[in-house]
Structure 1
Amino acid sequence: MDERDLRGLIGRVKSGQLSRRAFVQRIAALGLTAPLAGLMLADNGVAAADLRTAYKPAKAGGGGALKLLWWQAPTLLNPHFAVGTKDQEASRIFYEPLAAWDAEGNLVPVLAAAIPSRENGALAADGRSVTWTIKPGVTWHDGKPLTADDLVFTWDYARDPATAAVTTGSYRDCKVEKVDDLTVRVLFDKPTPYWCDAFVGNVGAIMPKHLFSPYAGAKSRDAPQNLAPVGTGPYRFVEFRPGDIVRAERNPSYHLPNRPYFDTLEMKGGGDAVSAARAVLQTGEYDYAWNLLVEDEVLKRLETGGKGRVDVVFGGKLEFVLLNTTDPTVEVDGEKSSLKTKHPAFTDPKVCQAMNLLIDRKSIQDYIYGRTGRATANSVNGPERFVSRNTSFAFDPARANALLDEAGWTKGPDGIRAKDGRRLKLLFQTSINAPRQKTQAIIKQAASKAGIEIELKSVTGSVFFSSDAANPDTFPHFYADMEMYAINMTQADPATWMLQYVSWEAATKENKWQGRNIARWRNTEFDALYNAAQTELDPVKRAALFIKANDLAVSQNVLPLVHRAEVSGVAAKLVAPRSGWDNDLAFLPEWSRDA
């Protein structure tokens, strides 16, 4: 990187096109330190303050149309039912939390008047309560005022088991009480170091009581606003065709001055990641393309078109393989992959370890992801204090074969292993996407050398990530032996992320497959570590507990592949601040276009 390139990067940070975090990561890749990167920015007039101060438009509106392309089309617009990222992002256009996570992993206020702290008296020293105050004057899109009653309702709505909200884990273990019309107090029955779960980030959307209260509990899926949202966000609802398109218009009563810049917004769904990348980077048909899970060499070729750029932001996103701990071939009480069954292979740690050794992560990084991903052995890949140094990965088919021998799986005449009359044949599913299909092929080829027969299954993304409880091909149903996808740790803390491994979050027919533990992995030691971390106020001890929990999960169930960047296609003149710790659209009010 020469001086010209460096000044270009600094210029992008100043304009809000590149986050400070992404700049520091790029500088660190050159062997320079993060403090030095910070000094470079400071010397060029970029302060360490919230990058939202880079917003330039002097008035709201006038920006014309903002065209977004999500190649996995949203299917609903209720953030508390949003299983897939596509539904979370579409909902974020309309609904807002009290606070969001910025690119540095810090909390910044959205609907809150300020972030609670010990200094301002809103955060209790004993970790048992936090007080939130809403900004005055915020209104819903229908003109009614946002009040503390809406926060209390949102808490009650999300925690109710009959609602079957995917966010229930964030609201179940607290109590919310109204202090006054603009203030609530969140109470915990024990010291709670992660007090900023409820009402924050992608799980924190506030819902209008006056519209959703008639549909609370068992009636939750019947609410008209599940498909026609009324929120507080920068854009108001115009039209939604599930699986196709979302249209919105500027909210003239938005609570931030001079925002939003664009007059209309269109989120188009469908297609694939390559066509989405082409539509921004090469043809300029769209302003923004989400989640460009495309080989890096392809992205580099498309960038030469000059219509847009690839924006890479690292946060907590992980591409991984889950091993089913239940048996997808047996049906119990009308339910496959039932908790009442055990997987014939993956309940043996040696088989899981063997599978881990059959994944060539370095090749996956080098030949598929390039600059957009880093091979990893960890489930938690940030912030730095939570990252384990105890794990490692290796590609070792010989050792994998030895472990399978020790586990009693012997090779037959055709080279396929079997035990107790059952062949080691596995169904491996994921969504349709070129990098994932190539990753599947790499793993299948290596597994065959160890006597494991793998059948590959690819499901259309809009189906695989659907919230449809009746569709057996969605990833929470997990009617396969292995499955691969990515999720994003959209809070700069592992507390919510680690819920995907706790026993009580298992996705089942009873909870309409809304539980976060998709593999139905159950481990009492992990549960104990998680519970201990939930009350440990010492940040060093708490980080150590999460590291131990990470090490346990990756040793028995989850097979991390790549720490993925948030990769987007951005039109040449679009200013689109993003955070790797929150939704892509978390800072949508700050988006604008250079003249």
Structure 2
Amino acid sequence: MKKFKILLAGTVACMALSSSMAYAERGTDGDLKILFWQAVSTMNPYLSGGTKEVFASSMVIEPLARYDETGELVPWLVTELPTLENGGFSEDMLSLTWKLKPDLKWSDGTDFTAEDVVFTWKYCTDPNGGCAQAAQYEGITNVEAVDPLTVKITFSEAKPYPYSAFVGAQSPVIQAAQFKDCLGAAAPGCTSANFGPIGTGPFVVKDFKPNDVITFEANPNYRDPAKPAFASATLKGGGDAASAARAVLETGEYDYAWNAQVEPEVLAAMMAAGKGRLEISFGTQVERINLNHFNADPALGDKRSTAEAGPHPSLSDPAVRRALSLAIDRDIIVEAGYGQSGRPTCNIVPAPETVASTKNDSWCLTQDIEAANKLLDEAGWERGSDGIREKDGVRLSYLYATSTNSVRQATQELVKAMWAEIGVDAELRNASASVFFGGDPASPDTFQKFYADVEMYTNNFDGTDPEKYLAEWLCDKMPSPANGWQGQNIPRYCNPEYDALVGELSRTADLEKRAELSKQLNDMLTEEGAHIALVHRGDQSSFANSLQGVRMNSWDSQVWNIADWYRAK
């Protein structure tokens, strides 16, 4: 595994200092001002797959274990990681036992116990709940409280890599007492709990205005009495990536702005003010274009983009999917929109190095307009009088959706021009990031609903093992009305051979064999056109030079150690 980190401005070392060096007591550094230009719609990551919701909620609710800035799995709410060596992981690999830290309190002062962990599993696996993180609990048959501080997880079959449920920012523990009436279909309606979860993290929600502002206060029952250094935090949402970065780097109004997806030359001009630094770290983040495998015709009404709509009239053709990828010049996209924070890729699993495939690089990484045109010609897609290809009355004309962002709109324009060279048209559409990634089942514009032919965004996975991420493309993980549009298989890709290979990966212990299976699964998704991977993106965010204690993390939540952040005196 490799972890890359670049400090583009400032000389402040992002090292964790002891609390005695950083601050004397909790709440001495005032208000921490945060900007998320993609506004947060809920504080419950189980009801949204959006990164903004996962990151914001991780300030409040926490997992049993998480990944540090090097990708190392570390205990968080437990005394140690259960392993074969210490007996926490059974020799038959059918069970995993976690030992909770004693005396942990929820922010309301009540005890954090094994029953809360059991409840969280029941909450996310309820068949009527539409849990956005269901893949984290794949293969678990039971979670039980052996005693108040002991949790035992039982798997349906040997699980060589068992660290999925309750691990990482996407799989935190929620309080049973608060969410007890929110199981199944009742989950989305529990507004009070979803907007203000009781947690074990360093902050508690004081006020939540969806898609606008969240105000936090330091958790009075946080396990370290000296932390957090900040008495409060204000997370402002909305706007755009450029204005968010500017508010830290140039004007100094904010301490931290997440996701500086801004053109390189624009960022360079902002940093000249000398008020902030830009940090980049590479993990598993990939900007991709999903190809809808179901018919997205608006005339189909509620059936569109579901199995009832039937296969997509043109994207169901493998030749079309391959040609769309061949026509794209990934180097130009990286140069224009990402600079040092991007690398061309054809892989949905780009890291760590041990699982990153190179099989498809020979045909995919280099644009080949001639090969793309030849594929379409041979498949019978002929150019019409307007230059757009068609066959049997079906035109290669697509609604291409993404979130509102200058880099993404520029990428859309580039891809549209590239596709035009092979006789493919694209209608470009963008929606506010707060809506696009919001997960509202009533909205027609969410990325989960996928009411378009193709859509573009970035996603990644926690940690360095891709098993649970690759499980997101299982046939039963498709978003649909039945699960509140919260499934993780956004392109609606379904291949029984793929499902079987995921099952084999989950049963495989040998690390080299696991890596090989992961590569095979990645390659299937690329070769069969579940999506078109474009850019291996680095996490890039803006920090005030005065903000210290930050340890930039691409394997978990960027705010994973926010309890250690402090303001330099």
- TM-score bracket for this pair, using the shorter chain length: over 0.9
Which moves more between the two structures, 63-72 or 124-133? Answer: 124-133
One-letter amino acid of the counterpart of residue 583, structure 1: S
Task: Report the equivalent of 1:43.
Answer: none
Give 3-state SS (helix, strand or coil) of 1:534's partner: helix
Task: Report the equivalent of 1:351.
Answer: 320
Give 3-state SS (helix, strand or coil) of 2:235's partner: strand
Structure 1 position 142, deviation (Å): 1.0
Q: Which of residues 157, 168, 171 in structure 1 aligns to 2:134?
A: 168
Deviations 1:433-485 (A, max 9, x none): 01111111111111111111111111111111111001111111111111100
Contact kept, 8 Å, 1:331 with 1:338, in 2: the verdict is: no
Q: Which of residues 359, 363, 370 in structure 1 aligns to 2:332?
A: 363
Please give the alpha-carbon distance, in whole angstroms, between the structure 2 residues aligned to 1:293 and 1:12.
22
Give 3-state SS (helix, strand or coil) of 1:121's partner: coil
Task: Report the equivalent of 2:551.
Answer: 577
Please give the alpha-carbon distance, in whole angstroms, between the structure 2 residues aligned to 1:463 and 1:211.
27
Structure 1 position 333, deviation (Å): 7.6
Which moves more between the two structures, 254-263 or 356-365? Answer: 254-263
Task: Report the equivalent of 2:186.
Answer: 219
Give 3-state SS (helix, strand or coil) of 1:568's partner: strand
Task: Report the equivalent of 2:3.
Answer: none
Please give the alpha-carbon distance, in whole angstroms, between the structure 1 residues aligned to 2:163 and 2:19.
24
Q: Which of residues 518, 538, 563 in structure 1 aligns to 2:536?
A: 563
Deviations 1:228-267 (A, max 9, x none): 2211110122100001000011112211252111111010
Confirm or deny that 1:395 pairs with 2:328. no
Please give the alpha-carbon distance, in whole angstroms, between the structure 2 residues aligned to 1:166 and 1:131.
25
User: Given the superposition, is the C-alpha separation of residues 333 and 279 from structure 1 closer, same or farther in structure 2, using an over 3 Å criterion?
Assistant: closer
Contact kept, 8 Å, 2:8 with 2:277, in 1: the verdict is: no
Task: Report the equivalent of 1:461.
Answer: 433
| TM-score (structure 2 length as normaliser) | 0.94
Structure 1 position 194, deviation (Å): 2.4
Structure 1 position 11, deviation (Å): 6.8
RMSD: 1.9
Task: Report the equivalent of 1:196.
Answer: 163
Task: Report the equivalent of 1:591.
Answer: 565
Q: Which of residues 297, 303, 307 in structure 2 aligns to 1:329?
A: 297
Give 3-state SS (helix, strand or coil) of 1:510's partner: helix
Contact kept, 8 Å, 2:227 with 2:564, in 1: the verdict is: yes
Contact kept, 8 Å, 2:8 with 2:279, in 1: the verdict is: no
Deviations 1:243-302 (A, max 9, x none): 100001111221125211111101000100000010000000000000111111111111
Deviations 1:129-185 (A, max 9, x none): 111111111111111100111111111111111222112222252111111111111
Task: Report the equivalent of 1:108.
Answer: 74
Structure 1 position 8, deviation (Å): 11
Deviations 1:190-231 (A, max 9, x none): 111221110111222111111111222222222221112211
Give 3-state SS (helix, strand or coil) of 1:83's partner: coil
Task: Report the equivalent of 2:15.
Answer: 15
Q: Which of residues 147, 154, 174 in structure 1 aligns to 2:120?
A: 154
Q: Which of residues 499, 502, 507 in structure 1 aligns to 2:474?
A: 502
Please give the alpha-carbon distance, in whole angstroms, between the structure 2 residues aligned to 1:354 and 1:519.
17
Contact kept, 8 Å, 1:159 with 1:172, in 2: the verdict is: no
Q: Which of residues 415, 418, 443 in structure 2 aligns to 1:443?
A: 415
Deviations 1:495-516 (A, max 9, x none): 1211332211111111111100
| TM-score (structure 1 length as normaliser) | 0.90
Please give the alpha-carbon distance, in whole angstroms, between the structure 2 residues aligned to 1:338 and 1:82.
19
Confirm or deny that 1:208 pairs with 2:175. yes
One-letter amino acid of the counterpart of residue 240, structure 1: F
Please give the alpha-carbon distance, in whole angstroms, between the structure 2 residues aligned to 1:432 and 1:561.
18
Task: Report the equivalent of 1:427.
Answer: 399
Deviations 1:488-547 (A, max 9, x none): 222221112113322111111111111000110111221121111011111111111110
User: Given the superposition, is the C-alpha separation of residues 371 and 192 from structure 1 closer, same or farther in structure 2, using an over 3 Å criterion?
Assistant: same
User: Given the superposition, is the C-alpha separation of residues 304 and 447 from structure 1 closer, same or farther in structure 2, using an over 3 Å criterion?
Assistant: same
One-letter amino acid of the counterpart of residue 152, structure 2: R
Task: Report the equivalent of 1:261.
Answer: 229
User: Given the superposition, is the C-alpha separation of residues 82 and 52 from structure 1 closer, same or farther in structure 2, using an over 3 Å criterion?
Assistant: farther
Between the aligned residues of both structures, percent identity stands at 40
User: Given the superposition, is the C-alpha separation of residues 14 and 478 from structure 1 closer, same or farther in structure 2, using an over 3 Å criterion?
Assistant: closer
Task: Report the equivalent of 1:59.
Answer: 25
Please give the alpha-carbon distance, in whole angstroms, between the structure 2 residues aligned to 1:330 and 1:461.
22
Deviations 1:52-86 (A, max 9, x none): 89973343220111000000111111121122111
One-letter amino acid of the counterpart of residue 15, structure 2: S
Give 3-state SS (helix, strand or coil) of 2:270's partner: helix
Q: Which 5+ residue runs of structure 1 have no aligned equivalent?
A: 1-5, 17-50
Give 3-state SS (helix, strand or coil) of 2:417's partner: helix
Please give the alpha-carbon distance, in whole angstroms, between the structure 2 residues aligned to 1:7 and 1:170.
33
Which moves more between the two structures, 293-302 or 170-179? Answer: 170-179
Contact kept, 8 Å, 1:14 with 1:54, in 2: the verdict is: no
Structure 1 position 112, deviation (Å): 1.2
Confirm or deny that 1:284 pairs with 2:257. no
User: Given the superposition, is the C-alpha separation of residues 66 and 216 from structure 1 closer, same or farther in structure 2, using an over 3 Å criterion?
Assistant: same
Task: Report the equivalent of 2:272.
Answer: 304
- Which structure has more RCO (C-alpha within 8 Å, separation ≥ 6)? 2
Confirm or deny that 1:180 pairs with 2:147. yes
One-letter amino acid of the counterpart of residue 222, structure 1: G
Q: Which of residues 527, 532, 546 in structure 1 aligns to 2:504?
A: 532
Please give the alpha-carbon distance, in whole angstroms, between the structure 1 residues aligned to 2:333 and 2:138.
39
Contact kept, 8 Å, 1:55 with 1:592, in 2: the verdict is: no
Please give the alpha-carbon distance, in whole angstroms, between the structure 1 residues aligned to 2:134 and 2:14.
39
Please give the alpha-carbon distance, in whole angstroms, between the structure 2 residues aligned to 1:345 and 1:351.
7
Structure 1 position 119, deviation (Å): 2.5
Please give the alpha-carbon distance, in whole angstroms, between the structure 2 residues aligned to 1:54 and 1:198.
34
User: Given the superposition, is the C-alpha separation of residues 333 and 54 from structure 1 closer, same or farther in structure 2, using an over 3 Å criterion?
Assistant: farther
Task: Report the equivalent of 1:234.
Answer: 202
Please give the alpha-carbon distance, in whole angstroms, between the structure 2 residues aligned to 1:331 and 1:539.
49
Please give the alpha-carbon distance, in whole angstroms, between the structure 1 residues aligned to 2:400 and 2:8.
43
Please give the alpha-carbon distance, in whole angstroms, between the structure 2 residues aligned to 1:386 and 1:241.
41
Please give the alpha-carbon distance, in whole angstroms, between the structure 2 residues aligned to 1:318 and 1:504.
23
Confirm or deny that 1:243 pairs with 2:243. no
Please give the alpha-carbon distance, in whole angstroms, between the structure 2 residues aligned to 1:153 and 1:547.
34
Contact kept, 8 Å, 1:176 with 1:185, in 2: the verdict is: yes
Structure 1 position 389, deviation (Å): 2.0
Contact kept, 8 Å, 1:176 with 1:186, in 2: the verdict is: yes
Please give the alpha-carbon distance, in whole angstroms, between the structure 1 residues aligned to 2:534 and 2:471.
19
Please give the alpha-carbon distance, in whole angstroms, between the structure 1 residues aligned to 2:153 and 2:21.
33
Please give the alpha-carbon distance, in whole angstroms, between the structure 2 residues aligned to 1:332 and 1:532.
37
Give 3-state SS (helix, strand or coil) of 2:325's partner: helix
